[in-house]
Amino acid sequence: MALGDFEQLVLLAVLHLGDDAYGVRIVDAIEERTCRTVSRSALYVTFDRLEGKDLLESDLRGGDASRGGKKRRYVTVTAAGLEALRESRAALLGMWRGLEPVLREDT
C-alpha cells in the first residue's frame, strides 16, 4: 500500500516514540526532526485515515489536569503499517540510487 509523505512522517514518529506516542508528542517529534511545522488538524485526520487502513491502532488512557479530563489517544504501528513503511522505503531508495552525485549539495 502506497503511503503519502505525511503518513510516512507520522508512522515513523510513532515508531520513534514507542510507548509514548500520542498527538502532542508526535507533533513535537516531527517538528524537531524535520524542522517543519505540523498542522494539528491534518495529523488528526491522518490518524483516522491510517487507522481506517489498519496501519495504526489506538487506545485511550491516561491524561492529566492540563487536558481537562480528556484521555490521551496513544497510537501504535500495526504489522501492516510496518510492512507499508518497508515498501515505501524500498521504493524511495530504489529511486534514489545513483542520484547522490547529482544532488550533493557542495557541487
Partner 1 sequence: MAHLTKERPPLLAERLMRSVLRSDAQLHGVLGDLREEWARLRKTKSRFASDLWFWRQACLVYWRFRVEPQNTRSVFPKSGLDKFVADSANDTRLALRTLIKRPLFAAAAIVTISLGIGATTAIFAVVDGVLLRPLPYRDSDRLVTVSVLREGDRSVQRDMSPPDVADLKEQATSLQSLVGYQPRSVSITSGEDPVLINAARVSEGLLSVFGVVPVLGRDLTAEESGFGAPAQVVISHRLWSERFGLAPDVVGRSIELGSGGTPFEVIGVAPEGFEFPGNTALWMPHRFSSPTSCGRACHTWWTVGKLSPEASANSLDAEASSIASSLALAYPETNAGKGFAVETLQDQVVGPVRARLWILFGAVSVVLLIACANVTNLLLIRAYGRRHEFAIRTALGAGRGQLTRQLLVESLVLAIAGGGLSLAVASGLIELLKQTATTMLPRVAEISIDGSVLLFSTVLVLAVALLTSVSPTLHLSRVSPSENLGHAARGSGGGIVGRRFRNLVIGFEVALTVILLSGAGLLARSFERMYAVDLGFETNDVLRVTLSKGGTLDEVRTFYRTLEERISSLPGVESVGSIYGAPLGPGHTTAELRVEGRPDPEPGTETYAGVRAVSPHYLEAARIPLLRGRSLMASDDVDPLPRAVVNETFVRENFPTEEPLGRQVRVLTDQGYGSPTWTIVGVVGDIHSEAVTRGAIAELYVPHGHFGPGFMTVTVKALPGSPRLFPAIRAEIRALDPRIPLRHVETVSEAMSREAAPMRFLMLFAVLFAAVAAALAGIGLYGVLAYLVSRQVRDIGLRIALGAQAAQMTMRVLADGFRIVLLGAAAGIGVSILGGRVLGAFLFNVHPNDPLAMLAALAAIVLIGSAAMFVPALRASRIDPVETLRSL
Could you list the residues that contact partner 1 (CB under 8 A)?
22-24, 27, 39-42, 44-45, 47-49, 51-52, 58, 60, 63-68, 70-73
Q: Which is nearer to partner 1, 7 or 12 (CB)?
A: 7
Integer angstrom CA distances of residue 24 from 2, 28, 30, 41:
26, 6, 10, 12
Cβ at position 23, least distance to partner 1 in Å = 4
Task: Give me the half-sphere count of Cα atoms (radius 13 Å) on the Cβ side of residue 21.
Answer: 21
Query: Please, what is the minimum distance in Å from the beta carbon of residue 47 to partner 1?
Result: 7
Contact 21, 74 (CB under 8 A): yes
In the complex, the smallest distance separating the C-beta of residue 83 from partner 1, rounded to whole angstroms, is 20
Residue 38's Cβ-side half-sphere holds a number of Cα atoms within 13 Å equal to 24
User: Cell numbers 547529482 correspond to what residue?
Assistant: 102
Indicate the residue among 16 and 49 with the shorter CB distance to partner 1.
49
Instruction: Pick between residue 37 and residue 107 the one whose CB is nearest to partner 1.
Output: 37
Write down the least CB distance from residue 68 to partner 1, Å.
Answer: 5
